Amino acid sequence: MKLIIIGGGFGGLRLARRLSNKPGFEITLIDRFNYHQFQPLFYQVATAGLDASNISFPLRKVFHRSRNIRFRMAEVQQIRTEEKKLVTNIGVFDYDALVIATGADTNFFGNHSMAENAFPMKSTVEALQLRHRLLHNFEDALSVKDEAELNKLMTIVVVGGGPTGVELSGAIADMKRFVLPKDYPELDFTRMKIYLLEGTGRTLASMDKRSSEDSRRYLEKMGVTVLTDSILKDYDGEQAILQNGTVIQTAMVIWAAGIKGNVPEGIDKGLIAKGNRIRTDRHCRVIGNMDVYAIGDVAFMEEPSWPNGHPQVAPVAMQQADLLAANLRRIEMKSATASLEEFVYRDKGSMATVGRNLAVVDVPTPKLHFRGFFAWMIWMGLHLMLILGVKNRFFVFCNWLYNYVTYDQNLRLIFKEFYREKKVEG
């Protein structure tokens, strides 16, 4: 069958690899970028601990030995389900089966002022833009005399207390503790303030209560002001206004408080669930479409134990890719539909790192909670294993080792072409 996979993230890439060199499949993998992005480490790119190339892997290289997979760098414009055609900026592709694995992007919930002024971090390039602004603000601070202006430049607000927000605010706190005062000896770093805003009552709300407590305690110890039950109402580039009326003067707001599925044109609006996700059945089939599938962050599947859909994390995407690969092989071998497997998510646990030597890990069965240095080691080992490519793994390890031993992040480069001025929400 002619199979098209849109998206080379955790789900799409895994699916393509599972079907590599399998008889009967002629696969086209399409992505906007020519590389796979390792999203869990964006925050380290943003805080100058890792290089963008360390967590980006050229997709063409992955498939050097795959005879049945071709890659195309293209923007998807429309899916024409009735004609079984996919329209892109480089031409029209026919398919027998189509898999939508387009992931999710930042959701500013329609607030244009926030979209223009706050920094998102949902791509390698956005992580670099964040890094450049973060560093540039300190360069700017050197020539500022006005106290209020100076405080504003040295105040950072991270919105969203999920893993991304916790990891990012922790990494910025580590920069404040170990790196920035050495780089900018002329600045007074007691001025520097880091806020983490979370809308619910606790950080890492999707994890175990102990992880919430530990992460909050760690962050506060590291100098982050954690404000729970706090929702950002507006940000104009100078003032962050909270719903409870609090105003924080800040030149930098980082937005990690919501995502929405990247739904391509041509999908029936009636199929869109909360968070802009596409409703699928337990076979990852888009409801009412025999030949269109969706997996990963963009998909919304109801499972008895997950009535509100699965968490939008890599393991779900990868497990769905595994199931879909097996089912597509059954379909290709002309088995009856009845024999298709149904998806069951196996939650193996979740984790978040907070700072140097500090992380939290939850395992659901058997119910376990790890914290501190030991959790941090688990976190590092697991992320190293997940990174694609021996070379990237080695380089990330060397970077971590270097950063750990020297208390230094070495990649404080401002490439001006990456210096974002403005972005309007799509």
User: Closest separation between CB of residue 420 and a second copy, Å?
Assistant: 8
- Subset of 228-247 contacting a second copy (CB under 8 A): none
Nearer to a second copy, 127 or 360 (CB): 127
User: Closest separation between CB of residue 129 and a second copy, Å?
Assistant: 8
| 182 contacts a second copy (rule: CB under 8 A) | yes
User: DSSP secondary structure string, 193-258?
Assistant: EEEEE-SSSSTTTTS-HHHHHHHHHHHHHTTEEEE-S--EEEE-SSEEEETTS-EEE-SEEEE-S-
Per DSSP, 262 falls in state -
Shortest CA distance to 276 belongs to which of 255, 254, 258, 288? 258
Region near a second copy per CB under 8 A, out of 199-207, 263-271, 287-295, 388-396: 388-396
Task: Tell me if residue 9 falls in helix, strand or coil.
Answer: coil
Is 80 in contact with 4 (CB distance < 8 Å)? no
Nearer to a second copy, 63 or 108 (CB): 63
- Binding track, positions 260-299, relative to a second copy; x by CB under 8 A: ----------------------------------------
- Binding track, positions 51-80, relative to a second copy; x by CB under 8 A: xxx--x-x-xx--x-----x-xx-------
- Which residue from 188, 265, 398, 404 is in contact with a second copy, where contact means CB under 8 A? 398
| CA geometry: angle 402, 405, 411, nearest 5 deg | 35
| 92 contacts a second copy (rule: CB under 8 A) | no
User: Closest separation between CB of residue 67 and a second copy, Å?
Assistant: 9
User: DSSP secondary structure string, 344-365?
Assistant: ------EEEEEETTEEEEEETT
Beta bridge pairs of residue 71: 29
Beta bridge pairs of residue 224: 194
CA distance 14 to 341: 18
Region near a second copy per CB under 8 A, out of 47-55, 256-264, 319-327, 356-364: 47-55
| CA geometry: angle 271, 277, 281, nearest 5 deg | 60
| 135 contacts a second copy (rule: CB under 8 A) | yes
Catalog residues that contact a second copy under the rule CB under 8 A: 33-35, 51-53, 56, 58, 60-61, 64, 70, 72-73, 90-91, 124-125, 128-129, 135, 139-140, 142-143, 182-184, 186, 389, 391, 394-395, 398, 402, 408, 410-418
